[in-house]
């Protein structure tokens, strides 16, 4: 069955171009278009698409406002098409807060130098979002409340790692909102450093780190080469680069390396976790949150064998149950939690 797409953009030329690209895939159908956010809201009610592509800057009603309305009235997976500039990053992060689940560059050449490859990636992303995303109704802009205590779920082996020294969080699609939910619940005196690997372009990660830093009680910073690890600080891996942990258990530090052209993810969760394994083989808590694919599986396998602890987000609370599913199915997860419970259990470590 074809994925049904609604295209929202104020440019008639871009709507036609995007429609031609999407309809070249036999598994996707364009069911309608809209030239502004208000039209989009009306078309969603009428057509009930499986997924929406959404521009940000539009007349009558912008894409962020439209996303907020759609997610409160008729939750539908929304892919934001954004300019990969600093301002574009800020607007895209606002759209994700409003309920959009993913984003891609509006200039497809920024995806790949190969035009056909870029078009294939766009279509694949739309298909995955249409079939695998679990959109949630958002009544208004997310207001983050303290996590509510719940009955603790079954834990395969152990919940609290012995001798914990470091927390590493890896995520992709749905990650910006999930990370916001987790990190904002941590107290200022959280006793461990946190390495965060979020699949995100280079122009986005500085704004993402700054945004989280204003929202969290802990310190959040864009990771830099030679950063020493400090308790109560989250280090966001720079987009387009790789973040590694170097040194030894007494004096660990971050090393930022250029990515290789052969590497799929930039930054990559596996690369960070494999470097962590040589410094804190038994003293790491690795947490894999929502995301497409299986990045993090290899690194978690290595850490699990060495005695570290692995947590995975559960299917119900994941936007895309890909990365955490890979961990759970492989048997590496010591705990599988709802996102709210992950926040709660981490806060308990203080």
- Residue 230's φ and ψ, nearest 5 degrees, are -125, 140
Q: What is the DSSP string of 7-75?
A: EE-S-HHHHHHHHHHHHTSTTEEEEEEESSHHHHHHHHHHH--SEEEE-SS-SSS-HHHHHHHHHHHS-
Cβ atoms within 10 A of the Cβ of 144, count? 14
Residue 162: its pLDDT value, please? Answer: 72
Q: How many domains does the chain have?
A: 2
Q: How far is the C-alpha of 160 from the C-alpha of 345, rounded, in Å?
A: 9
Q: What is the CATH number of the domain that holds 125?
A: 3.40.50.2300
172 is catalytic: yes
The answer on 90 and 34 residing in a single domain is: yes
147, part of any domain? no
Residue that finishes a domain, picked among 132, 158, 176: 132
Q: How far is the C-alpha of 54 from the C-alpha of 46, rounded, in Å?
A: 17
Strand partners, 6: 32, 52
Of the residues 69, 199, 222, 304, only one is catalytic, namely: 199
Of the residues 270, 295, 314, 341, only one is catalytic, namely: 295
Strand bridging mode 78-82 / 194-198:
unpaired
How do the pLDDT tens digits run along the chain, 350 residues long?
789 999 999 999 999 999 999 999 999 999 999 999 999 999 999 999 999 999 999 999 999 999 999 999 999 999 999 988 888 899 999 999 999 999 999 988 777 778 888 899 999 999 989 987 766 665 544 444 444 444 444 443 344 567 899 999 999 999 999 999 999 999 999 999 999 999 999 999 999 999 999 999 999 999 999 999 999 999 999 999 999 999 999 999 999 999 998 999 999 999 999 999 999 999 999 999 999 999 999 999 999 999 999 999 999 999 999 999 999 999 999 999 999 999 999 999 88
Helices (H), 142-248: 175-183, 205-215
149, part of any domain? no
160, part of any domain? no
The answer on 184 and 333 residing in a single domain is: yes
The answer on 123 and 207 residing in a single domain is: no
Q: How far is the C-alpha of 177 from the C-alpha of 130, rounded, in Å?
A: 19
Strand bridging mode 102-105 / 78-82:
parallel
The answer on 201 and 250 residing in a single domain is: yes
What's the pTM?
A: 0.90
The answer on 238 and 111 residing in a single domain is: no
295 is catalytic: yes
199 is catalytic: yes
Q: How far lies 328's CA from each of 2, 275, 313, 344, in Å?
A: 29, 22, 9, 20
318, part of any domain? yes
Residue 107: its pLDDT value, please? Answer: 87
Of the residues 82, 91, 172, 343, only one is catalytic, namely: 172
Residue 31: its pLDDT value, please? Answer: 97
The answer on 127 and 173 residing in a single domain is: no
Residue 143: its pLDDT value, please? Answer: 41
Q: Residue 177's domain spans which residues?
A: 166-347
Q: How far is the C-alpha of 131 from the C-alpha of 112, rounded, in Å?
A: 24
């Amino acid at each position: 069955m074809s994925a049904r797409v609604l295209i929202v953009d104020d440019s008639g030329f871009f709507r036609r171009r995007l429609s031609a690209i999407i309809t070249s895939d036999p598994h996707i159908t364009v069911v309608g278009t809209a030239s502004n956010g208000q039209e989009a809201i009306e078309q969603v009610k009428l057509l009930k698409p499986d997924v929406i592509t959404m521009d940000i800057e539009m007349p009558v009603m912008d894409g962020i406002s439209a996303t907020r309305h759609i997610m409160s009235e008729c939750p539908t997976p929304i892919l934001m098409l954004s300019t990969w500039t600093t301002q574009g990053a800020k607007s895209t992060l606002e759209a994700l807060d409003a309920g959009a689940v993913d984003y891609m560059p509006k200039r497809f050449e920024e995806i790949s130098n190969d035009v056909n490859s870029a078009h294939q990636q766009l279509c694949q992303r739309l298909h995955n979002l249409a079939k695998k995303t679990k959109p949630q109704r958002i009544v208004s802009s997310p207001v983050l409340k303290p996590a509510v205590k719940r009955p603790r779920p079954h834990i395969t082996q152990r919940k609290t790692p012995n001798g914990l020294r470091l927390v590493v969080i890896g995520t992709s699609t749905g990650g910006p909102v999930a990370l916001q939910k987790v990190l904002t619940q941590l107290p200022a005196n959280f006793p461990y450093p946190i390495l965060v690997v979020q699949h995100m372009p280079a122009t986005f990660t500085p704004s993402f780190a700054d945004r989280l830093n204003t929202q969290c009680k802990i310190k959040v910073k864009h990771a830099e080469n030679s950063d020493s690890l400090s308790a109560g600080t989250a280090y966001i891996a720079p987009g387009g680069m790789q973040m590694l942990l170097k040194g030894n258990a007494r004096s660990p530090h971050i090393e930022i390396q250029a990515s290789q052209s052969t590497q799929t993810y930039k930054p990559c969760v596996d690369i960070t976790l494999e470097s962590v394994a040589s410094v804190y083989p038994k003293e790491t808590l690795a947490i894999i949150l929502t995301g497409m694919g299986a990045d993090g599986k290899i690194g978690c396998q290595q850490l699990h064998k060495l005695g570290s602890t692995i947590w995975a987000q559960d299917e119900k609370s994941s936007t895309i149950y890909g990365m955490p599913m890979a961990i759970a199915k492989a048997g590496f997860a010591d705990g599988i939690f709802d996102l709210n419970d992950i926040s709660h259990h981490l806060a308990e470590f203080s």
